[in-house]
Structure 1
Amino acid sequence: MNAKPFWKAKTLSQMTRAEWESLCDGCGRCCLNKLEDWDTGEIAWTNIACRLLDGQSCRCKDYDNRQATVPDCIGLTPQQVETITWLPPTCGYRLVAQGADLYWWHPLVSGDPETVHEAGVSVRGRTVSEAGIEVEDFEDHLVDWPGEEP
């Protein structure tokens, strides 16, 4: 008898900490700086990565302390997943919250953390660090790909 995988059997709020953390596919898209139009709420993506994002692994270099180091870093919760509009369309948290399945390249499906990179979903090799870039220059780094499906 094959049991359903936890992401099909549980809601986000029912998941253990380990299950929750494993929903992150390691794409790094949520760690890109975004610009929000104050009037419309529209999000514009940049290729500027948080200074804590490791551009090769697409993981945070100091995950446990990230919010102390980067005060505007948002620690996702099940409730926030429902309301945050800028989560990438391929995000495992967003997909599960919407009742959709994970993509074939998600490490929980493929069994390999490299498939997210091989599928061209991650930010690997496509970003610049925010270190040394002035906020007023962020508009020079606008890109569409983080908000798109591969």
Structure 2
Amino acid sequence: MKKVNAFWREKTLTEMTAEEWESLCDGCAKCCLQKLEDEDTDEVYYTNLVCRYLDAQCRCKVYNTRHEKVPSCIWLKPADVSAFKWLPDTCAYRLVYEGKDLPSWHPLRTGKPMSTVKKGKSVLHWPVIPDDAVPEDEWEDHIIFKAE
């Protein structure tokens, strides 16, 4: 069995190279779900509306230009992760920030890029709807859970 370079156990997020940082993404696409924030309580709610640019492999079709195509797309950066409490509790960025290990199904641990999808940990098998199919004033009707 091939030994895995567990750099995420030895480095902080800000110490990682750009390649290491990018490789932390498990491909769950939960960050690609549209979220609504309650202005009074700051609570964040996930909807079943997914970015129109998400493909069938749970990857962004316009990754390199995503911030031009979707100005509201949040750019995750190592220095800002502490502010992203809305990230799912299985998100590698959140786990590493909190000093936890990656789950056994994470692609960095399995060596298989689609292991997140195959384990059922992505939105690929959820009944999601492209965000451009629903008027924004109806997004509240699509809330599925509150961020923890």
Q: What TM-score do the two structures reach when normalised by structure 1?
A: 0.90
Q: What is the rounded CA distance, in whole Å, between the counterparts of 2:52 and 2:118 in structure 1?
A: 24
Q: Residue 124 and residue 6 in structure 1: after superposition, are their counterparts in 2 closer, same or farther (change >3 A)?
A: same
Per-residue deviation at 1:132?
2.7
Alignment partner, residue 47 of structure 1: 48
SS of the residue corresponding to residue 47 of structure 1 reads: strand
Q: What is the rounded CA distance, in whole Å, between the counterparts of 2:32 and 2:15 in structure 1?
A: 25
Query: Is 1:104 aligned to residue 104 of structure 2?
Result: yes
Q: Which aligned segments of 4 or more residues in structure 1 are displaced greater than 6 angstroms? A: none
Match runs of 1:36-75 below 5 Å: 36-54=37-55, 56-75=56-75
Which amino acid is the alignment partner of residue 45 of structure 2? A
Q: What is the rounded CA distance, in whole Å, between the counterparts of 1:6 and 1:29 in structure 2?
A: 24
Match runs of 1:111-130 below 5 Å: 111-126=111-126, 127-130=128-131
Q: What is the rounded CA distance, in whole Å, between the counterparts of 2:37 and 2:147 in structure 1?
A: 13
Q: Residue 110 and residue 3 in structure 1: after superposition, are their counterparts in 2 closer, same or farther (change >3 A)?
A: closer
Residues 26 and 107, structure 2, Cα contact 8 Å, conserved in 1: yes
Per-residue deviation at 1:116?
0.6
SS of the residue corresponding to residue 124 of structure 1 reads: helix
Residues 46 and 144, structure 2, Cα contact 8 Å, conserved in 1: yes
* Unpaired segments ≥5 residues, structure 1: none
Q: Residue 4 and residue 114 in structure 1: after superposition, are their counterparts in 2 closer, same or farther (change >3 A)?
A: closer
Q: Residue 3 and residue 72 in structure 1: after superposition, are their counterparts in 2 closer, same or farther (change >3 A)?
A: closer
Alignment partner, residue 84 of structure 1: 84
User: How many residues align structurally?
Assistant: 145
Per-residue deviation at 1:3?
8.6
Q: Residue 3 and residue 62 in structure 1: after superposition, are their counterparts in 2 closer, same or farther (change >3 A)?
A: closer
Which amino acid is the alignment partner of residue 106 of structure 2? H
Per-residue deviation at 1:125?
3.1
SS of the residue corresponding to residue 72 of structure 1 reads: coil
Identity among equivalent positions (%) equals: 48
SS of the residue corresponding to residue 48 of structure 2 reads: strand
Alignment partner, residue 144 of structure 2: 143
Residues 35 and 47, structure 2, Cα contact 8 Å, conserved in 1: yes
Which amino acid is the alignment partner of residue 141 of structure 1? H
SS of the residue corresponding to residue 61 of structure 1 reads: coil
* Relative contact order higher in (CA < 8 Å, ≥ 6 apart): 2
